[in-house]
A and B are shown apart, each in its own frame.
Chain A
Amino acid sequence: MNVFVRVPTGGCNKSRLLNGFIAFFIRQPKFLSSTSFMHNQSAFCAETRHAYELWIGEMRSSGCSSTAAVIVLLSLSFTVGCKRGHRTQEPASAGGQIRAYTGQMESDDGHWLRATKDYANTRYSSLNQINTGNVSQLHVAWTFSTGVPHGQEAAPIVANNTMYIATPWPNVLYALDLTKQGAPLKWKYEPHPSPASKGEACCDWVSRGAVYDNGKIFFNTLDGYTIALNADTGAELWKTHLADISHGETITMAPMVVHNHVFVGNSGGEFGVRGWLAALDTNSGKLAWKAYNTGPDKEVLIGQRFKPFYKTDQGTDLGVKTWPPDAWRVGGGTVWGFLAYDPKLNLIYYGTANPGPWNAEVRPGDNKWTSGMFARDPDTGEAVWFYQMSPHDLFDWDGINEDILLDLPMQGQNRQVLVRPDRNGYVYVIDRSNGQVLSATPYVHITTTTGVDLQTGRLQHVPEKTPRTGQVVKDICPMAPGAKDWQPSSFSAQTGLVYIPHQNMCMDEEGTEANYIAGTPYIGASVQYYPGPGGHMGELTAWDPIAGKPVWVIKDKYPIWSGTVSTAGGLVFFGTMDGWFKAADARTGNVLWQFKTASGIIGQPVTYRGPDGKQYIAILSGIGGWPGSIVAGKLDTRDGTAGNGWGKALPNIRNEVTPGGTLYVFALP
């Protein structure tokens, strides 16, 4: 908004003063469009101050300060009564350190049994045949078409000399025989999910994959079933109906198994569902326990063992009391991310998604237990602690991002922590035994909050960025899909760094009326996204969790919506939305190898040792998911709100990327 006309000559003259005076007013768009001024005084103040400072700066540099004093005083009176403006949070500047991890990693047998690789969610493989020295020779070993041209978010699962691929709706499960050349199809299982479920899934028809345990393979269908198959034959062992699509519930997450329970949560935070996590018996499929994330304590499974660290999470029935009457029944808090498990503490960790609707004005209160994270006993389901990253969430900031369980030296002593790059833009390091936040450091450009108060655990909001019904708030950073959405990070034991694939994006938002009609969206917001500072939308950040600083950043035109995998070969693999699969040097971020796949990549790369003893890297290519629905759903980007806000950000992506669904497996010659 800099329209100041620069006067070429030095010294003080009338035209410079006049120019400054005009510019002072022109730099106040909020003042000129008086409707927003009426509603948004603080934003007016911030812009006025900014314009004033620019003008004073101009005059000071040209020696006008004494002559202009009167006018300066006059204009200052405009800003009297303004509160001190907010600071924009910038990510910590580089300066993180590479240091080998001293904690213990789970033993690695070269398989990939679950999406997260290990219980600690590191996605780190000890395989090193493919390394920084030879990765440039990597080539395609074989491919496989899933037959479904929609968002491929699943991690290929490798166990039992077999690779298991879960597709988006219609949720076919393929078993490929790794012992034979070209990995031919061993069997497939088609669950025939309801086509109606496609209209109840917010962000394309995705599945985040299957899980292998003890001769069985478990996966979920979009229409709300969890299915167990014999991993050798594909014979159905049991099928349990958990989610009701007529109320907007679907299931997209990858299940996880601990002991004799398989854990499954629901999706549907944009449809006014009530979020839960369920534990099913792995042998029978019968429900062992179900913990809701809103409502009375007995349904949240909060009892004697519940000891949250912060005061605001202590009290009875907060899942009811922190909502307007009955709003918790349609309050969201779904579970669709990845679970972690600590065998020593015998606790599972998982995040809860956004409260519904997005329009926060209709749900005053902290909206427990949404946009937070639980630690629970996997056997009984009892809650042990909870921490809320985004109380009374304003921006659709689901708390479902992954928790990487590490033992790190923090504040002078070795602590059992979890590292969580959250949707709200902060990397949290939290003591995983009790829920205490040890550090929360911004990793992206943030205008909405000023930090996390470590005494209270509370996220500190910038009041003028609060969305309101019928009013447009601009420059909200990060945007609704957050600093990082579902796409999972990895951790390298060699470098001690967390590799975070994420966005660099902001949005404009207007709150709208939200009406609850079962089975239809319950959102109440109009949003448009656009690139953040620098103009690029995607970043892969190598993050030092101890120092809370990045070591390097790879930028990409589009959001990096794929997960990452780190290997003992000193590599980090990731994919881009325009179809490039890349290997970067884990220490420097130099891209050492890349391959262009058929469609865009939004999946989870994995690496494994084949029956022949060779190391392979696998990734599904197939654009979709939330941003990729622009391509997979053939959306029209002349509407900036297409894809719930992505139209403005991705106006040309349909001219660059086409739908697909192909597995690529790479190996050395």
Chain B
Amino acid sequence: MKRKTLLFCLFLLALCACKREHRVFDPGATAAQPANGTVMNDVMAGATQPSAAVPIQFEESAYAVAEGKRFYQAYNCVGCHANGGGAIGPALMDSEWIYGSKLEQIHSVIVQGRPNGMPSFANKIPDYQVWEIAAYVRSMSGQLPSDVAPSRSDHMPTVRSESSRPKEHPADENQQPLVPGRSK
């Protein structure tokens, strides 16, 4: 009998040692804690918001873009996307952008990867180099000024230089203004 009581007390003691799950019932003012990250779609739920600051200096520096071109080779981007025409992965010199044409969107794609085959380079490439690669990728479809985009290649000529390519227009750039409806 004594033994049973002792075991019961021990059991109660053990129960007390359990930690109760911590639940946040009042997270505070929601407007002060917006979920953020790179916007990957033209449509934003709840109307358009201003996007976070993007380090566009990478797009304005011929040196940064040239470095991006070097890293594009060194990190094997060229193995899947060729010199812009695409191979295992999609073409990067045309007007079709599956995950967006903006600098920060390309940066996100490189870091995060994408489910249909793009590997994630998270923790593999220093952040500034990702921005440089992203800027170079934009030069491949003529998005950068010709004095920034690379104008020559040291290798076998396979494609027109980035600086002399016509600018491709992704779908979100081509939107016409909405025709306003007349209210009665």
- Whether chain B is bound by chain A comes out as yes
Within 8 Å by CB of A472, from B80, B119, B156, lies: B156
**9 interchain residue pairs of minimum CB distance:** A199-B117, A642-B85, A521-B79, A639-B85, A636-B91, A520-B76, A640-B158, A510-B156, A198-B117
Cα distance A641–B156 in the bound complex, in angstroms: 10
Residues in B93-140 with C-beta less than 8 Å from chain A: 93-94, 96, 115-119, 124
A517 to B82, CA, bound (A): 17
Q: Is residue A598 within 8 Å, beta carbon to beta carbon, of the partner chain?
A: no
Of the 9-residue stretches A208-216, A340-348, A522-530, which lies at the interface with chain B? A522-530
How many Å from the CB of A581 to the closest CB on chain B? Answer: 28
Do the beta carbons of B118 and A515 come within 8 Å of each other? no
Contacts of B89 in A (CB 8 A): 199
Name the residue on A nearest B86 (C-beta).
A635
Given the interface pairs A515-B74, A517-B124, A528-B156, the reply to whether A643 lies near B86 with Cβ below 8 Å is yes
Interface residue? A388 (CB, 8 A):
no
In this assembly, does A513 line the interface, its C-beta being within 8 Å of a C-beta of chain B?
yes
Q: In the complex the two chains form, is A528's CB within 8 Å of B88's CB?
A: no
User: Nearest chain-A residue to B89 (Cβ)?
Assistant: A199
- Whether B84 is near chain A, meaning CB under 8 Å from some CB there, is yes
Q: Residue A521 contacts which of B76, B84, B124, B159 (CB distance < 8 angstroms)?
A: B76
Q: Does B145 contact A (CB under 8 A)?
A: no
Q: Which of A604-654 contact B (CB under 8 A)?
A: 629, 633-644, 647-648
Q: Is the CB of A634 within 8 A of B96?
A: yes
Complex CA gap A526/B90 in Å reads: 18
Cβ of A96 < 8 Å from any Cβ of B?
A: no
Chain A residue with the shortest CB-CB distance to B93: A636
Q: In the assembly, what is the distance between CA of A510 and CA of B156, in Å?
A: 7
Complex Cα distance A201/B80, Å? 10
B84 in contact with A639 (CB, 8 Å): yes
20 A-B residue pairings within 8 Å (CB atoms): A195-B117, A196-B116, A197-B117, A198-B117, A199-B119, A200-B88, A200-B117, A201-B88, A513-B74, A517-B75, A522-B76, A522-B79, A633-B86, A635-B91, A636-B86, A639-B159, A640-B158, A640-B159, A641-B82, A647-B85
- The docked-state distance in angstroms from the alpha carbon of A389 to that of B115 is 39
Q: Are A520 and B79 in contact (CB under 8 A)?
A: yes
Known A-B contacts A510-B156, A639-B158, A642-B86; A196 and B117 likewise in contact (beta carbons under 8 Å): yes
Q: Could you say which of B76, B78, B91, B159 contacts A634, with CB atoms under 8 Å apart?
A: B91
B75 touches A515 (CB 8 A): yes
Asked if A270 is at the interface of the complex by the 8 Å CB criterion, the answer is: yes
Q: How far is the CB of A633 from chain B (nearest CB, A)?
A: 6
Residues of A within 8 A of B79 (CB): 270, 520-523
Enumerate A480-519 residues with CB–CB distance to B below 8 Å.
Answer: 508-510, 512-513, 515, 517, 519
* Docked CA distance A509–B75 (Å): 20
Contact indicator A526/B156 (Cβ below 8 Å) = yes
Contact of A515 among B76, B85, B156 (CB under 8 A): B76
What is the CA–CA distance of A634 and B97 in the complex, to the nearest angstrom?
12
A-B contacts at CB below 8 angstroms, number: 122
Question: In the complex, what's the smallest C-beta–C-beta distance from A630 to chain B, in angstroms?
Answer: 9
Question: Do B156 and A643 touch (CB < 8 A)?
Answer: no
Write out the residue numbers on chain A whose beta carbons fall within 8 Å of the beta carbon of B171.
none
B residues 61-83 with Cβ under 8 Å of A?
A: 73-76, 78-80, 82-83
Main secondary structure of the interface of A (DSSP, over half): loop
Asked if B184 is an interface residue, CB under 8 A from chain A, the answer is no
- Chain B residue nearest in CB terms to A201: B88
Is the C-beta of B23 less than 8 angstroms from some C-beta in chain A? no
Known: A513-B74, A520-B76, A522-B76. Contact between A639 and B116, CB under 8 A?
no
The CB with the most chain B CB atoms within 10 A, among A202, A509, A629, A638, is that of A638
- Of A519, A522, A634, A644, most B-chain CB atoms within 10 Å: A644
Interface string of A397-426 (1 = CB under 8 A from B): 000000000000000000000000000000
Q: Is B160 an interface residue (CB 8 A)?
A: yes
In the complex, what residues of A have CB within 8 A of residue B7's CB?
none
Which residues of chain A are within 8 angstroms of B155 by Cβ–Cβ distance? 470, 510, 512, 526
Residues of A participating in the B interface, judged by any CB pair closer than 8 Å: 195-202, 270, 470, 472, 508-510, 512-513, 515, 517, 519-523, 526, 528, 629, 633-644, 647-648
Partner of B84, one of A196, A472, A519, A636: A636
CB 8 Å contact bits of B143-164 with A (1 = contact, 0 = none) = 0000000000001101110000
Q: Which of B11-55 contact A (CB under 8 A)?
A: none
Question: Within the complex, which residue of A199, A513, A517 is in contact with B118, where a contact is CB–CB below 8 Å?
Answer: A199
Q: How far is the CA of A642 from the CA of B83 in the complex (A)?
A: 7
| A472 CB contacts on chain B under 8 angstroms | 156
A512 CB contacts on chain B under 8 angstroms: 73, 78, 155
Q: How far is the CB of A104 from the nearest CB of chain B, in Å?
A: 44
CA distance A634 to B78 in the complex (A): 17
Please indicate the chain B residues that have their CB under 8 angstroms from the CB of A470 in the complex.
Answer: 155
Q: Is the CB of B116 within 8 A of A198?
A: yes
Find chain B residues with CB under 8 A from A633 CB: 86-88, 90
Interface centre among B73, B79, B83, by most A CB within 10 Å?
B79
In whole Å, how far is A428's beta carbon from the nearest beta carbon of chain B?
30
Contact indicator A635/B119 (Cβ below 8 Å): no
Question: How far, in whole Å, are A201 and B89 apart by their CA atoms in the complex?
Answer: 10
A639, B75: Cβ atoms closer than 8 Å: no
Please tell me if the beta carbons of B74 and A642 are within 8 angstroms of each other in the complex. Answer: no
Rounded to whole angstroms, the CA-CA distance of A41 and B94 in the bound complex is: 40
Q: Which residue from chain B places its CB closest to the CB of A204 in the assembled complex?
A: B88
Q: Are A639 and B93 in contact (CB under 8 A)?
A: yes
Determine the chain A residues whose CB is within 8 A of the CB of B87 once the complex forms: 629, 633, 635, 641-644
Bound CA–CA A421/B93 (angstroms): 38
Q: Which residues of B contact A270 (CB under 8 A)?
A: 79
Q: Other CB < 8 Å A-B pairs besides A195-B117, A520-B75, A635-B86, 20 of them?
A: A199-B88, A200-B88, A472-B156, A512-B73, A512-B155, A515-B74, A522-B76, A526-B83, A634-B96, A636-B84, A636-B91, A638-B159, A638-B160, A639-B82, A639-B91, A639-B158, A640-B159, A642-B83, A642-B85, A643-B86
How far, in whole Å, are A29 and B88 apart by their CA atoms in the complex? Answer: 35
B164 to chain A, nearest CB (A): 12
Given A199-B117, A634-B90, A642-B91, A647 contacting B80 (CB threshold 8 A): no
Q: What is the distance, in angstroms, from A97's C-beta to the closest C-beta of chain B?
A: 43
Residues of B156-178 contacting chain A, CB below 8 A: 156, 158-160
Q: How many angstroms from the CA of A68 to the CA of B74 in the assembled complex? A: 54
Most buried by A among B90, B117, B160: B117
Whether B75 pairs with A641 at a CB distance below 8 angstroms is no
Contacting A199 at CB < 8 Å: which of B73, B80, B86, B124? Answer: B80
A641 touches B83 (CB 8 A): yes
> What is the bound-complex CA distance between A528 and B74, given in angstroms?
20
Taking each of B82, B87, B90, B160, which has the highest tally of chain A beta carbons within 10 Å of its own beta carbon? B87
Which chain A residues lie closer than 8 Å to B80 at the CB level?
199, 520-521
Known: A513-B73, A528-B158, A638-B93. A647 touches B117 (CB 8 A): no
| CB of A363 to closest CB in B, whole Å | 17
Q: What is the CA–CA distance of A526 and B76 in the complex, to the nearest angstrom?
A: 12
What is the CB-to-nearest-CB distance from A206 to chain B, in angstroms, rounded to a whole number? 12
- The docked-state distance in angstroms from the alpha carbon of A647 to that of B115 is 26
A510 to B75, CA, bound (A): 18
- Chain A nearest CB from B78 CB (Å) reads 8
Are A636 and B94 interface neighbours, CB within 8 A?
yes
How many angstroms from the CA of A637 to the CA of B158 in the assembled complex? 10
Determine the distance from Cα of A515 to Cα of B79 in the docked complex, in whole angstroms: 10
In the complex the two chains form, what is the Cα distance from A472 to B158 in whole Å? 12
Q: Which of A508, A517, A636, A642 contacts B156 (CB 8 A)?
A: A508
